[in-house]
Chain A
Amino acid sequence: MSPITKEKTNWFFACKVEDVPANGGVCVKYKNEQIALFHFARRGEWYASQNLCPHRRQMALSRGMIGAQAGEPKVACPFHKKTFSLADGRCLSDEHECAIKVYPVKLEEDRIYIGVDGGKETSAVPA
């Protein structure tokens, strides 16, 4: 399953299992944020990350291809194929690139929840 859930996590309902294509992603709107949600059906795993690719600041990661590198789950941005770990968010293809924020995901029957920080504001949408 996805990264460790912290104590003060707020879980919000994202969508239903059937809304997400197998082995692909969708973009979830949470307040003013865009979160990419991935269903890694081959591994029976769910991942979530910011939708913004830090390279050119494009809202695109949810449309990227997912896969694995030496077993580590990853997503490739459709713009320039920068790849990011879905486990910890670091950029796998360019060590100088910023990491992306990843979120915990949990499943209750066919309902998917994404965990966001309790109190503090999360990264803003670009201008």
Chain B
Amino acid sequence: MKIVVIGNGMVGFKFCRKLVERKVPGLELVVFGEERLPAYDRVHLSSYFDGKSAADLLLAPKSWYTDNGVRLHLGDPVHHISPGLQTVTAKSGITEPYDILVFATGSSAFVPPMPGTDQKGVFVYRTLDDLDHMKTAARKARRAAVIGGGLLGLEAAKSCLDLGIADTTIVEYAPRLMPRQIDQNGSAILQQQLETLGLKIRTNAYTTAILGDGTATGVGFEDGSSIPADMIVISAGIRPRDELAASAGLETGSRGGIVVNDRMQTTHANIYAIGECALYQHIIYGLVAPGYEMADIAIDNILGGNRTFGGFDMSTKLKLVGVDVASFGDPFPPPDSCRVIVFEDQVAGVYKRINMTGDGQYLLGGILIGDASAYNMLLQKVKNKMKITGKPEDELLGARSTGEAAAGALGLPPDAMICSCESVSKSAICQAVEDGHETFNAVKKCTGASTSCGGCAPMVKDLITYTLKSQGKYVRNVLCEHFGYSRQELFDLIKIRSLHSYDEVLDSIGHGDGCEVCKPAVSSILASLWGDMILAKGNDTAQDSNDRYLANIQKGGTYSVVPRIPGGEITPQKLMAIGRIAEKYNLYTKITGGQRIDMFGAHVGDLPLIWEELIAEGFESGHAYGKALRTVKSCVGSTWCRFGLHDSVSYAIRVEERYRGLRAPHKIKSAVSGCIRECAEAQSKDFGIIATEKGWNLYVCGNGGSKPQHALLLAADLDSETCIQYIDRFLMFYIKTADPLTRTATWLNKMEGGIDYLRNVVVKDSLGIAGELEREMQALVDSYKCEWREVVETPALRKRFTHFVDAPEEKDPSVKFEQLREQKKAVEWK
């Protein structure tokens, strides 16, 4: 059998993947795609401006198609179909015969008929190409207008903010935002929330023209008024791509869409249509989940089954510029047939509404703004037609704590659909856990749940936890056998009890004699809390070995020495000093990735001597040995660079000197770039700063390493003081809440609510702790001392830097070096 698919979007790809999984003998699968890239995640399109690359968004790499025998023609739209001959012909001239043809052509942005839409500066928000065009134009744009206040319009407005256009207006012709999903009161709360974030909103505004003469300058309205804008994004709805189907003689709807029956067949039995191009009972389903369901049903019928499509729930939950918005079931049924409960909190910006049957027995649907934590539970109750037990208002207010929500997830029937994108039931998830897939990622991989929109992730996690618990396997996130607490709990306890040494901590809140896991973790907490010299007060032997010797142990048992070179700026005199000292102690020298100089091969007994000389030359510890701030890398900046916007070197030095010596759950790296060219690679750092025309953009939670991850934009166009203030809060929040040896990227990945939550805490101070975080950081900054200076000046500490306790002058005779390119190297170990 030969199947040709027209369209390689999300639904088209899902069709291919599901078909490949069926392993049909003799199947030939050919796909034509119009775009230059294979199918990508259009649902998370706006994350492209948030640091994700096109490659990150791909649903599968090109190799997937080859590996699975799928012939993929990209950038080659089908131009002609002959249903009689059963062939399709593409733009390139390729003609392919088919047994079965599948339309997955999706939709395009609907551009309302009005003058001026063909000008420079007018965009639609639909494809990665559209986004690339916007990205280029945004560099010069000062004001943006988004036409359409629906789901996509709000996404587009967020993207404008992400692109650095602070002056962005959303224009909606209806009296409220998201008119299809939420009611007037909910919309008012949403509008209020969006306005506090700086978005301007204009409802009841009927756009009649895009102003300008070749280049857009503004938007004109029916009432004669206008607003200025040099970037205009139209997201006024979608239009099904049905033109090819129509020209081939297939029936299409009067307002677009390829007419299909409940088996997804068009008016030609061997031609199917799925996704946003398909018109089922006069409805276009503009979401991805029903599209996936259609793909499933088409495959079933192509392979001789008889499953049918019975419409699809259009519930949706998303986070718009940090604001939860959800609408489920029937958000506004006719008032006379239902009873409604509404909760509104204008202070916190929360609006919740549920609709129940007239007898108050069943949920019909509802709306959640500002806090959609109850979404999954409520949706399940609607979908599974579960009877409301207890007081109806508990449905709205009761499921707020995670404990209850989880108990609720357990209370669902086994066939409840937890992940509607991938059709994964509760029983499938529980079964996967029982089969040994005991982590969220393992369950994702095994069942496919949460791999698409991710909305069900909290429920999946709850189900994993509770299934494990029911098997008696549930393990609490504790440090080790000596402490029954997580790092965060330990941090709070040590602070409250004002404990200052490892032994005090172990005696008051631990048991046993400690180990190599809890010792460095507790030492790190003590350092982050009190800023005491880490080798003081009997804490020396509770430090990780590198911290105990204030140097990194290397092959052969010698150490490396890294003095701090803030921002990578160094005088010729200091360079010569390093050269002289390295030569004197026979050290191998190398420039590090963090713009400083590493000296290797130092005997432990030489460390105090080397540091004594370095300190005399004006150097201080670089903390390369600690879970601490490492370097703040910088580009050359505006002092020399012809592109530089600000003096990135001076700012990097300021930042590095502020946070030097700061102990954290893991190492912290940073960088400052003087312009968007990003030579300092700030977006790969735990926190990175990039100059903009108006100030600094602050990115957080990136890292290189084994799992590289780009940092995400936390806040834009900050002045130098505010930027430091946010970094203070961010770092202190990380230090207080992360698990041991967790980099900021992993910390964020595990954080419920992700970057939006973090932004709320750091920028909007949603937890009311910003002042405390700043004070704590300032105390650490004020208590900074160079550890090496203290060792060099304190004989009792210095005494520990020997190899043999009974022969302090002797070096370790087992240390051997070899020659390589005029320097030494450690002898290779076995």
Contact = CB atoms under 8 A, between A and B. Distances in A.
Nearest to B810: A29
Nearest to B540: A21
B513 A42 contact: yes
B805 A59 contact: no
A70 to B, nearest CB: 7
A40 B514 CA distance: 11
Contacts, number: 98
Contact of B804 (A29, A74, A125): A29
A58 to B, nearest CB: 5
Interface residues on B, range: 35 or more
Give the residue among B545, B548, B830 with the most A Cβ atoms within 10 A: B545
Given A15-B806, A26-B805, A69-B481, A63 B513 contact: no
Contact of B814 (A34, A69, A70, A79): A34
A43 B553 CA distance: 28
Give the residue among B482, B549, B806, B810 with the most A Cβ atoms within 10 A: B806
B805 A19 contact: yes
B813 to A, nearest CB: 7
Nearest to B604: A63
A68 B813 contact: no
B807 interface: yes
A22 B541 contact: yes
Contact of B829 (A29, A43, A58, A81): A58
A1 B829 CA distance: 35
Interface in A1-33: 14-15, 19-24, 26-29
A56 B516 contact: no
17 contacts: A19-B805, A21-B540, A21-B541, A27-B812, A28-B804, A29-B804, A29-B806, A29-B807, A40-B513, A63-B553, A64-B516, A65-B516, A65-B519, A65-B541, A65-B545, A78-B544, A125-B813
Contact of B513 (A28, A68, A126): A68
A49 interface: no
B516 A68 contact: no
Given A58-B829, A65-B541, A71 B512 contact: yes
Interface of B: 481-482, 503, 506, 512-516, 518-520, 538, 540-542, 544-546, 548-549, 553, 555-557, 800, 803-807, 810, 812-815, 829-830
Given A15-B805, A59-B814, A78-B546, A68 B830 contact: no
A64 to B, nearest CB: 6
A83 B516 contact: yes
Nearest to A37: B805
Contact of B549 (A42, A43, A63): A63
Nearest to B556: A58
A26 to B, nearest CB: 4
A102 interface: no
A113 B807 CA distance: 16
B512 A68 contact: yes
Nearest to B506: A42
A63 B548 contact: yes
A67 B800 contact: no
Interface in A49-76: 56-60, 63-71, 73-74, 76
A69 B516 CA distance: 10
A56 B829 contact: yes
Contacts of A43: 513
A62 B243 CA distance: 77
Given A23-B542, A67-B519, 8 more contacts: A14-B805, A14-B806, A24-B548, A34-B814, A56-B830, A64-B516, A71-B512, A125-B813
A72 B40 CA distance: 54
B549 A67 contact: no
Contacts of A57: 829-830
Given A37-B805, A125-B813, A73 B557 contact: no
Contacts of A56: 829-830
A67 B830 contact: no
Contact of A67 (B514, B555, B812, B814): B514
A4 to B, nearest CB: 21
